[in-house]
């Protein structure tokens, strides 16, 4: 959608011209220059549907083995996410299953999750490592993420999240694990061109502000941008740290402070809201959406698809939750899964907009108004996906 002044940037009875996988013209069909239509090789009739940028799910952990359905039952009986993590479950249990899986097994186990996301109009997805926590498995996860992007018509952006949890074999040797992350994992991921960015989990059950800063310093030394799981379960100074490093994003942010929001705005860091985790963990503390808006922090929305805190395989459900649980408008939710998500992956101008010069990554929806993308619960009105100018049936 273009910047037309109308809500959602709506262009009515619009036409999008595509040449070699890129958008060359957008506007009302009646205004299209004749020379553009003269040499057209293929026309796709939208049939009264709505065309949006292909959605961008900018925060997922969709490569992993096993599930954590047992922990879902434990939480329903009253245990908390943190108690389960401290008792050796949580991320550590997915690490055990993921380490035991071969590259092919991991790929096969994860493919349906990417298929589900893609079927809901997503053309760009970010996938993190973080369930390996050793050199081999972290790199294997990133290779699997790359392979999945070759199997399906989705652009995959890969993030090294080796600082997701302290692996049990490093208990009481925190610095040694961080040495491994900084001196071995990051350089290897860079050498193999496996990572586009580095992420860390800044929290009482994960890594301190100082420890995450070490990881960020190593990322910067290797020219990789950073992002942070920040202030999810407690006010931990995560937003301030993300801002100090000019992180591309600070994610979760339920406990971010006013000062943290101000710092994010000054740094140009995007707030990525993850209502699936808030919902699944039965949290009651919402991210400070009003403060984010007041300070002008760009807001993105993502599924956070992961086996522990957000088994959400529908980006539209995440948008619905962002509206119902966090008070975003449907327009903000759609922007959060398109235009606002692109810079989180360093892809601004490339995806997330329907503008000349951008990649022809589009989704066509059987709805009467774009607000319906956030309104329906459990439906999938995506009719057609276009990725780099190629047309795909999202149901196949
Ligand atoms: O984004 N917060 C940390 N990481 C994930 C959860 C990972 C897990 O529980 O497996 C998240 O919510
Ligand atoms: Fe996450």
Digit-coded pLDDT (tens) for 106-130? 999 999 999 999 999 999 999 999 9
Distance CA 359, CA 351 (A): 6
Q: What is the pLDDT of residues 295-341, one digit of tens each?
A: 999 999 999 999 999 999 999 999 999 999 999 999 999 999 999 99
Residue 378, φ and ψ in degrees, nearest 5: 85, 5
**Which numbered ligand comes closest to the C-alpha of 64?**
1
Cα 9 versus chain centre, distance: 23
Q: What is the largest CA-CA distance in the chain?
A: 70
DSSP assignments along 140-199, one per residue? HHHHHHHHHHHHSS-EEEEEEEEETS--GGGTT-HHHHHHHIIIIIHHHHHHTT--SEEE
Ligand 1 mutation pick, 59, 113, 133, 201, max ligand atoms within 8 A of CB: 201
DSSP state of 276: H
For 42-92, how does the pLDDT look when each residue is reduced to its tens digit (9 = 90+)? Answer: 999 999 999 999 999 999 999 999 999 999 999 999 999 989 998 889 999
pLDDT at 266 over 70: yes
Distance (Å) from CA 392 to ligand 2 centroid: 29
Name which of 4-18, 73-87, 209-223, 335-349 the model is least confident about: 4-18
Q: Which residues of 284-296 are buried (b: 16+ CB within 10 A; e: fewer)?
A: eeebbbebbeebe
The CA 356 to ligand 1 mean position distance, Å, reads 37
Quote the mean pLDDT of the chain: 96
Q: Are the C-beta atoms of 49 and 367 separated by less than 8 Å?
A: yes
CA distance 213 to 223: 15
Whole-number Cα distances in Å, 109 to 101, 156, 217? 9, 17, 34
238 touches ligand 1 (CB under 6 Å): no
- Residues contacting 83, CB < 8 A, separation 6+: none
Could you give the C-alpha distances from 357 to 8, 25, 125, 249, 301, in angstroms and in order?
A: 20, 8, 20, 25, 24
E strands along the chain, which residues? 14-19, 22-28, 50-53, 55-57, 122-128, 155-163, 197-202, 226-230, 249-252, 270-273, 299-301, 362-365, 382-387, 390-392
| Closest atom of ligand 1 relative to the 94 alpha carbon | 10
232 lines ligand 1 (CB under 6 A): yes
Ligand 2 centre distance from Cα of residue 305 (Å): 8
Which helix (H) or strand (E) segment holds residue 215: the answer is: helix 209-221
Nearest atom in ligand 1 to 161's CA: 4
Q: Is 30 exposed, middle or buried (0-12, 13-18, 19+ CB in 10 A)?
A: exposed
- Quote the tokens at residue 329: 């408008």
Output the pTM of the full model. 0.97
Beta-strand pair 55-57/122-128: parallel
Q: Relative to the alpha carbon of 60, which ligand is closest?
A: 2
* pLDDT value, residue 36: 86
Confidence of residue 1 (pLDDT cuts 50, 70, 90): very low
CA of 60 to the centre of ligand 2 (A): 6
Look up residue 124 and give its two tokens. 């760009």
């Amino acid at each position: 959608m273009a910047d037309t002044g109308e809500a959602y940037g709506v262009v009515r009875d619009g036409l999008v011209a595509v040449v070699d996988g890129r958008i060359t013209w957008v506007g009302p069909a009646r205004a299209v220059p004749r020379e553009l239509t003269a040499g057209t090789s293929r026309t796709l009739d939208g049939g009264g549907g709505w065309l949006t940028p292909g959605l961008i799910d900018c925060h997922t952990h969709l490569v992993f083995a096993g599930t954590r359905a047992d922990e879902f039952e434990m939480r329903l009986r009253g245990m908390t996410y943190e108690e389960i993590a401290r008792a050796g479950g949580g991320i550590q249990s997915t690490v055990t299953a993921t380490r035991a899986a071969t590259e092919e097994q991991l790929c096969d186990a994860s493919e349906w999750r990417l298929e589900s996301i893609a079927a809901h109009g997503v053309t760009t997805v970010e996938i993190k490592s973080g369930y390996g926590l050793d050199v081999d498995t972290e790199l294997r996860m990133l290779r699997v993420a790359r392979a999945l992007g070759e199997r399906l018509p989705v652009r995959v952006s890969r993030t090294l999240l080796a600082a997701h949890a302290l692996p049990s074999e490093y208990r009481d040797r925190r610095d040694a694990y961080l040495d491994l992350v900084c001196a071995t994992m990051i350089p290897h991921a860079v050498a193999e061109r496996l990572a586009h960015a580095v992420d860390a989990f800044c929290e009482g059950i994960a890594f301190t502000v100082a420890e995450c800063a070490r990881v960020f310093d190593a990322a910067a030394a290797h020219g990789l941008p950073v992002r942070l799981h920040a202030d999810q379960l407690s006010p931990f100074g995560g937003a301030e740290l993300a801002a100090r490093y000019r992180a591309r994003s600070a994610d979760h942010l339920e406990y971010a402070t006013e000062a943290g929001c101000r710092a994010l705005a000054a740094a140009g860091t995007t707030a990525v809201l993850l209502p699936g985790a808030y919902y699944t963990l039965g949290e009651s503390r919402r991210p400070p959406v009003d403060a984010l808006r007041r300070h002008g922090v760009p807001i993105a929305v993502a599924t956070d698809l992961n086996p522990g805190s957000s088994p959400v395989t529908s980006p539209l459900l995440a948008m619905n939750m962002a509206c119902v649980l966090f008070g975003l408008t449907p327009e903000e939710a759609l922007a959060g899964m398109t235009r606002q998500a692109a810079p989180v992956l360093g892809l601004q101008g490339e995806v997330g907009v329907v503008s000349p010069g951008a990649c022809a990554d589009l989704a066509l929806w059987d709805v009467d108004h774009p607000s319906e993308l956030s309104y329906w619960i459990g439906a999938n009105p995506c009719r057609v996906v276009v990725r780099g100018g190629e047309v795909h049936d999202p149901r196949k």
